[in-house]
């Protein structure tokens, strides 16, 4: 009887495995953890929802990612996995799941691909939102250029960046997730036809900050050879939390969990692990401390010192030169994204006072003793420089956008590329400014900047990726289509050759010179094409350098 039962179990298991195998008729690959089956579309071979770590649930909540256990049979990888648990951008309703650590691989439809360059995308979203799924980031145009594209999910918000300085919550769990994904790609990409020695990481906003941090971290810097940082630097004032205690206290108050007893966090996390994840991912504004909320937008949970991924602060790590080549850039009117905080959340009068009081000058990574008098002096100069010495109003909102752009994005970008370019034996670094303005500038429309010049934060994304919303644009204007082609070609060339313009042609009419600290070379990308130039944002850079020179 026992033998019959064992035989029956064996038959059932075999039938299930066979059914799974037969159910997926797409391309198959054998990765380290087991066999996967993908799907072939008109654009690429897609392997979606590949788990790269164990689900961070139960006792693994807030722990660093753990290796994925092998599976038996063939794992169907034809659909994206859940996005990571987060609070929806506009409704603040929780969405997604904690079981979300997966990635997607997109392979060109060529016979026996071999040693193809690989581009790994890290999404943005202020470290609290987003995913790597293709409704937002469809890489079909990049794949058409002969590269393998990889997109990934990582933990967000409180679940991804809570830092109590203990093994229960070491901090930077989201960055460690990304690192785990990079290790997975390095180990497995060859079976998809990719070259593990030709991996380029790229990202935007918080994803760009992540990219820069990977170039600084002793853990991950050897898992790729090139990096593209779009509108985000680890040296931006919003990119790094110097202290996490206040936000931690707010989290404990919201969840009614006990505070740690000295270094003992066991009771704290026994309680926190029982809390519904949706409550933990409440709107981030609930966790921001008053002294950090002057801008209406600094982040409660973001990268912080953890002693492992970030053994020191980003500014200190940036001085330790390494050999990674980077392409760094920003959009010409990044600050348009802050218009809702000006017009709705805080108002013109509040922001006028912030600027007059020198808000943000003490967060520019400058080693300086900041007195109230000095900040007020700087504030008066900023009011004159950006606002023509007027109170903020709709009439001079363009000046506010300049101020916000430089303070929030450009200054950190300049610090990052100048530091890297000044290293001995530095590899080529490239700087760009994206200034195109077409129907694809979705962020500019979303944040109320359509009457202003320039490209808003995140406006470049629809030129690199296919957004689901863009399927309605059947008759895309020529300038938008040409900018798309140029952007994709530049990015793919950099991944392939380490040079975005190895040669000029009808599409790429200018050579993009490598950056030097003497000439500040950059490439301007706009509706008319691409144009090599020098010293972007020169007037605002001189202003900041002048006031910082007074720092004692």
On whether the CB atoms of residues 487 and 464 are closer than 8 A, the answer is yes
Question: And the tokens for 520?
Answer: 């500040």
H/E run at residue 331: strand 325-331
Q: Are 83 and 96 in contact (CB under 8 A)?
A: yes
* Domains annotated on the chain, with CATH: 25-320 (3.40.50.1820)
Q: What is the pLDDT of residues 371-402, one digit of tens each?
A: 777 788 888 999 999 999 999 999 999 999 99
What is the C-alpha separation between 226 and 512, in angstroms, rounded?
A: 17
Does 457 qualify as catalytic in the annotation? yes
CB 313 within 8 A of CB 300: no
42-59: string of b/e by CB count within 10 Å (b at 16+)? ebbbbbbbbbbbbbbeee
262 token code pair: 């000295």
| Separation between Cα atoms, residue 264 and residue 253, nearest integer Å | 18
371 is catalytic: no
Beta bridge partners of 47: 105
d(CA 390, CA 77): 58
Mean pLDDT value of segment 280-298: 64
pLDDT higher than threshold 80 for residue 55 = yes
- The reported pLDDT for the residue numbered 364 is 64
pLDDT of residue 250 exceeding 50, the answer is: yes
- Residue 19 pLDDT > 60: no
| pTM of the complete model | 0.93
Distances (CA, A) of 3 to 161, 323, 341: 52, 62, 71
Closest CA to 487 of 528, 434, 431, 428: 434
Coil, strand or helix: which one is 106? strand
Catalytic member of 334, 354, 404, 460 = 334
pLDDT digits (tens, 9 = 90+) for 75-93: 999 999 999 999 876 667 8
- Tracing tokens 């912080």 back to the chain, one arrives at 304
Q: Quick: pLDDT tens for 445-478.
A: 999 999 999 999 999 999 999 986 655 556 788 9
Residue 148's DSSP bridge partners are: 118
Give me the percent of the chain exceeding a pLDDT of 90: 72
Tokens of 176: 């460690």
pLDDT band at 363 (very low <50, low <70, confident <90, very high): low
**pLDDT grade for 126, boundaries at 50, 70 and 90:** very high
Q: How do strand 521-526 and strand 429-434 relate by DSSP bridges?
A: parallel
Active site residue 369: no
What's CA 81's distance to the chain center, in Å? 19
Question: How does DSSP assign 36-102, residue by residue?
Answer: EE-EE-SS-EEEEEEE-S----GGGTTSPP-PPPP-SSEEE-SS--PPBPEE-TTT--EESBS---E
Residue 368's pLDDT band (boundaries 50, 70, 90)?
low
DSSP three-state, residue 17: helix
Structural contact between residues 141 and 106, judged by C-beta atoms closer than 8 angstroms: no
Contacts of 542 (CB under 8 A, 6+ apart): none
- pLDDT recorded at residue 321: 86
DSSP for 191-251 reads: GGTEEEEEEEEEEETHHHHHHHHHHH-TTTTTS-SEEEEES--TTSTTS-BS--HHHHHHH
Mean per-residue pLDDT for 146-169?
A: 96
Q: Look at residue 114 in the predicted model and tell me its pLDDT.
A: 94
Query: Which residue among the candidates 87, 205, 247, 520 is catalytic per the annotation?
Result: 205
Q: What is the mean pLDDT of residues 333-362?
A: 86
CA–CA separation, 292 vs 284, rounded Å? Answer: 12
The region of weakest confidence among 67-71, 89-93, 452-456, 541-545 is 89-93
Catalytic residue among 45, 457, 460, 520: 457
Model pLDDT, residue 213 = 98
């Amino acid at each position: 009887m026992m033998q019959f039962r064992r035989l029956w179990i064996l038959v059932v298991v075999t039938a299930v495995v066979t059914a799974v195998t037969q159910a997926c008729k797409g391309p198959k690959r054998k990765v380290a953890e087991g066999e996967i089956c993908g799907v072939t579309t008109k654009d690429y071979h897609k392997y979606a929802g590949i788990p790269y770590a164990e689900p961070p649930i139960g006792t693994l909540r807030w722990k660093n990612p753990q290796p994925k256990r092998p599976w038996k049979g063939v794992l169907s990888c034809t659909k994206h996995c859940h996005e990571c648990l987060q609070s929806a951008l506009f409704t603040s309703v929780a969405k997604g799941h904690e079981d979300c650590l997966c990635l997607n691989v997109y392979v060109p439809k060529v016979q026996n691909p071999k040693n193809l360059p690989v581009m790994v995308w890290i999404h943005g979203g202020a470290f609290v939102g987003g995913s790597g799924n293709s409704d937002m980031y469809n890489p079909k145009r990049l794949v058409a250029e002969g590269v393998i594209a990889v997109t990934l999910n990582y933990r967000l918000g409180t679940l991804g960046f809570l830092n109590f300085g203990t093994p229960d919550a070491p901090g930077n769990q989201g960055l460690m997730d990304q690192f785990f994904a990079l290790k997975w790609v390095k180990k497995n990409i060859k079976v998809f036809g990719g070259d593990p020695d030709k991996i380029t990481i790229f990202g935007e906003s918080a994803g760009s900050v992540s990219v820069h941090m990977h170039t600084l971290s002793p853990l991950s810097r050897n898992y790729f050879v090139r990096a593209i940082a779009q509108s985000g630097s680890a040296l931006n004032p919003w990119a790094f939390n110097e202290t996490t205690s206040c936000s931690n206290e707010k989290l404990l108050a919201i969840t009614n969990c006990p505070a740690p007893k000295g270094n003992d966090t066991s009771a704290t996390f026994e309680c926190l692990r029982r809390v519904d994840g949706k409550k933990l991912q409440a709107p981030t504004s609930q966790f921001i401390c008053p002294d950090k909320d002057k801008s209406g937008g600094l982040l409660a949970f973001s990268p912080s010192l953890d002693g492992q991924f970030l053994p020191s602060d980003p500014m200190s790590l940036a001085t330790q030169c390494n050999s990674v080549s980077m392409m760094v850039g920003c959009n010409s009117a990044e600050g348009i994204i802050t218009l809702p905080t000006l017009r709705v959340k805080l108002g013109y009068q509040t922001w006028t006072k912030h600027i007059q009081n020198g808000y943000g000058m003490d967060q520019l990574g400058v080693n300086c003793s900041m007195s109230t008098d000095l900040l007020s002096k700087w504030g008066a100069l900023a009011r004159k420089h950006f606002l023509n010495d007027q109170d903020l109003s709709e009439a001079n909102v363009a000046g506010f956008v300049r101020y916000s752009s430089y303070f929030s994005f450009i200054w950190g970008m300049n610090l990052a590329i100048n530091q890297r370019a000044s290293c001995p034996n530095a590899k080529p670094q490239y700087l760009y400014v994206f200034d195109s303005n077409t129907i694809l500038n979705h962020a500019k429309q979303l944040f109320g900047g359509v009457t202003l010049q320039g490209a808003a934060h995140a406006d470049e994304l629809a030129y690199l990726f296919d957004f689901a919303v863009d399927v309605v644009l059947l008759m895309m204007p020529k300038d938008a289509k040409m900018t798309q082609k140029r952007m994709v070609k530049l990015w793919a060339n950099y991944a392939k050759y380490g040079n975005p313009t190895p040669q000029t042609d009808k599409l790429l009419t200018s050579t993009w010179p490598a950056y030097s600290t003497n000439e500040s070379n950059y490439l301007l990308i706009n509706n008319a094409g691409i144009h090599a130039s020098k010293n972007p944002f020169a007037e605002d850079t001189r202003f900041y350098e002048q006031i910082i020179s007074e720092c004692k």
